[in-house]
Chains A and B, each alone.
Chain A
Amino acid sequence: MRFKVLLLTTSLFITPLSTTHAVVDKNLPFPETDQPTAQEVANQVYFANHFYAYDNFSIGAKRSRSRKAILINRSESGNDSTIAIERHLNNKYDDGVINSRDLAIFHSGNLKGTGLLVTDYVDPDKSSSYAIWLPALRKIRRFAEPSQEDSWGGSVFTFGDVTLRKPTDETHELLGKKVMRSCLGVIPDLEGKSYRYVRKLPKRSCRHVGKEVYGLKSKSKFPEWWYDYRISMIDIKTFADYRTVYYKNGEIIKIIDRDWGVMDNETESNDPRALFWKYWYGVDLQTGQESWAVIPQRIIEFNRDVDNKFWSEQTLRKIKR
Chain B
Amino acid sequence: MIKIYKAIQKIPVILFTLTFSVGALAANPDYIEAVKLDINEFETKIFQEQPNSPWLPSGKKARVDGSDSLESFNDFLSKRFPGSFILFSKLEKTDQEQVWQNYVNTGDLGGIRSDIYTLRRKNAQQR
Hey, which bits of chain A sit against chain B, CB under 8 A? 74, 76-78, 175-176, 178-183, 185, 188, 204-207, 209-210, 215, 231, 233, 243, 245, 252, 255, 261-265, 278, 283, 285, 287-290, 297-298
The answer to whether residues A255 and B106 also contact, given A76-B23, A182-B56, A210-B59 and a CB cut-off of 8 A, is: no
> What's the Cα separation between A263 and B104 when bound, in Å?
11
Pairwise interchain contact A265-B105, C-beta atoms closer than 8 A: yes
Interface size class of B (residues with CB under 8 A): 35 or more
Closest B residue to A183 by beta carbon equals: B55
Partner of A297, one of B26, B31, B106: B106
B92 at the A/B interface (Cβ < 8 Å)?
A: no
With a 10 A CB-CB cut-off, give which of A78, A209, A215, A243 has the most chain B CB atoms.
A209
Q: Which residue of chain B lies nearest to A205 when distances are taken between CB atoms in the complex?
A: B107
Asked if A210 and B42 sit within 8 Å, CB to CB, the answer is no
10 extra interchain contacts, Cβ-Cβ under 8 A, other than A252-B32, A252-B36, A283-B26? A178-B42, A181-B38, A181-B47, A182-B55, A188-B28, A204-B55, A207-B67, A262-B105, A283-B27, A298-B110
Smallest Cβ-Cβ distance to A257: which chain B residue: B35
Chain A residue contacts of B38, Cβ below 8 A? 180-182, 233, 243
Which residues of B from 58 to 72 have beta carbons under 8 Å from A? 59, 62-64, 67
B111 at the interface (CB under 8 A from A): yes
Q: A179-B59, A181-B47, A243-B35 are known contacts. Are A261 and B26 too (CB-CB below 8 A)?
A: no
Contacts of B54 in A (CB 8 A): 183
A15 to B78, CA, bound (A): 40
How many Å from the CB of A185 to the closest CB on chain B?
5
Tell me whether B27 and A181 are in contact (CB under 8 A).
no
- In contact, B26 and A265 (Cβ under 8 angstroms): no
Minimum CB–CB distance for A289 against chain B, Å = 7
A244 and B15 CA atoms in complex are apart in Å by 34
- What 10 A-B pairs come out closest when comparing CB atoms? A209-B62, A210-B59, A288-B26, A215-B42, A262-B105, A182-B34, A283-B27, A175-B42, A261-B106, A182-B38
CB <8 Å contact, B42 and A176: yes
Q: Are A183 and B105 in contact (CB under 8 A)?
A: no
